[in-house]
């Protein structure tokens, strides 16, 4: 399913607005680097600094808005930076801790369907505790009570963070079910592109914590899921067109330095 002309226009406008907004707000940190400056020049250092700054905000300033533009045509509801819920049952909290303990110790392998059903069984049992779970980066739902909650990560997430990623996904399940115990809930990690291409994404580092079939979507798996088959390549073409269209504007910006 190729992107429609309307989707292409929305995505390309999003990219242009995001870059221009970054230009307006970007203020490079004052740092004297005399050796680098003399070797490479101020303009190249400014470009490097800008790219580094853009990388840190790519998720919120570009990937999230683009995902929303796609998701709005495929799901009944789409939003970003959403709070999944406020309350978790004491029993569900205990189940999550038990799941985590067993995964960390290697006594069990991740099985998202079983984990969700374990949480569902106790989602409203015992004391309800107010918590502040990590916000959902992009949130999609359909009127048939189906929910997809994504946590967008960098292309090479820190190995030490996988435990917290898993706990976040389970907590999203628990807080959602505490309010809606029959929800068809899916919580996933999204990695927008594969830095190892054309080789497969190195998933083995996550295998002990994440159910790779149910909790992880990488590159085209993520974008095609949101927008339809073939959308990933269409997106890359959008980025390329905007890069060409704005090349003079980008060059002019860096002439200031």
102-145 pLDDT, tens digit each: 999 999 999 999 999 999 999 999 899 999 999 999 999 999 99
Tokens encoding 51: 């790219």
| 67 and 104 within one domain | no
pLDDT of residue 174: 98
Q: Are 166 and 130 in contact (CB under 8 A)?
A: no
pLDDT at site 103: 94
Same domain, 103 and 207: yes
Query: Which residues, at least 6 apart from 49, have a Cβ–Cβ distance to it below 8 Å?
Result: 28, 29
Decide: 89 and 125 in contact? Cβ < 8 Å.
yes
SS3 72: coil
Considering the domain architecture, whether residues 209 and 175 belong to the same structural domain is answered as yes
CB of 12 within 8 A of CB of 241? yes
- The Cα–Cα gap between 82 and 19 comes to 24
- Residues of the chain whose pLDDT is less than 70? 1, 28-31, 159-160, 204-205, 257
Domain span holding position 63: 1-74+231-257
What pTM was computed for the model? 0.88
Residue with tokens 């429609």: 4
- Can you tell me the distance from the alpha carbon of 153 to that of 190, in angstroms, rounded to the nearest whole number? 6
Same domain, 120 and 215: yes
215 and 90 fall within a common domain: yes
Q: Do 115 and 235 fall within a single domain? A: no
Q: What is the C-alpha to C-alpha distance for residues 3 and 155, in angstroms, rounded to an integer? A: 24
Residue position matching structure tokens 């990695």: 191
Residue 141, domain CATH: 3.40.1560
| Number of domains making up the chain | 2
Q: Which two tokens mark 121?
A: 């069984």
Alpha helices in 59-111, H assignment, sequence order:
64-71, 90-105
49 and 86 housed in the same domain? no
Q: Are both 163 and 235 inside the same structural domain?
A: no
Q: Which pLDDT score, from 0 to 100, does residue 241 have? A: 95
150 φ, ψ (degrees, to nearest 5): -115, 140
Looking at the structure, do residues 90 and 190 belong to the same domain, yes or no?
Answer: yes
Same domain, 56 and 83: no
Phi–psi pair at 102, nearest 5 degrees: -70, -35
Same domain, 222 and 96: yes
With beta carbons less than 8 A apart as the criterion, state whether 137 and 71 touch: no
Q: What are phi and psi of 218, to 5 degrees?
A: -120, 135
Are 234 and 1 within 8 A, CB to CB?
no
CB 226 within 8 A of CB 74: yes
Looking at the structure, do residues 38 and 139 belong to the same domain, yes or no? Answer: no
Phi, psi of 160 (to 5 degrees): -70, -15
């Amino acid at each position: 399913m190729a992107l429609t002309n309307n989707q292409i226009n929305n995505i390309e406008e999003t990219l242009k607005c995001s870059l221009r907004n970054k230009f307006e707000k970007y203020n490079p940190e004052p740092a004297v680097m005399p050796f680098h400056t003399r070797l490479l020049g101020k303009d190249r250092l400014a470009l490097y600094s800008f790219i580094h700054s853009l990388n840190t905000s790519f998720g919120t300033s570009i990937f999230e808005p683009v995902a929303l533009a796609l998701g709005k045509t495929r799901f009944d509801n789409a939003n970003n930076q959403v709070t999944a819920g406020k309350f978790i049952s004491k029993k569900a909290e205990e189940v999550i801790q038990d799941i985590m303990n067993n995964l960390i110790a290697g006594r069990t392998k991740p099985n998202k369907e079983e984990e969700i059903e374990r949480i569902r069984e106790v989602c409203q049992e015992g004391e309800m505790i107010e918590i502040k779970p990590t916000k959902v980066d992009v949130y999609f739902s359909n009127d048939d009570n189906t929910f997809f909650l994504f946590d967008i990560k960098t292309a090479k997430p820190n190995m030490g963070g996988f435990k917290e990623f898993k706990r976040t996904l389970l907590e999203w399940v628990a807080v959602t079910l505490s309010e809606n115990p029959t929800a068809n809930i899916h919580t996933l990690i999204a990695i927008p592109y594969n830095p190892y291409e054309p080789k497969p994404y190195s998933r083995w580092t996550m295998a002990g914590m994440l159910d790779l079939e149910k909790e992880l979507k990488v590159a085209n798996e993520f974008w095609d899921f949101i927008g339809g088959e073939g959308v990933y390549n269409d997106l890359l073409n959008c980025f390329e067109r905007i890069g060409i269209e704005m090349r003079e504007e980008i060059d002019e910006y860096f002439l200031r330095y």
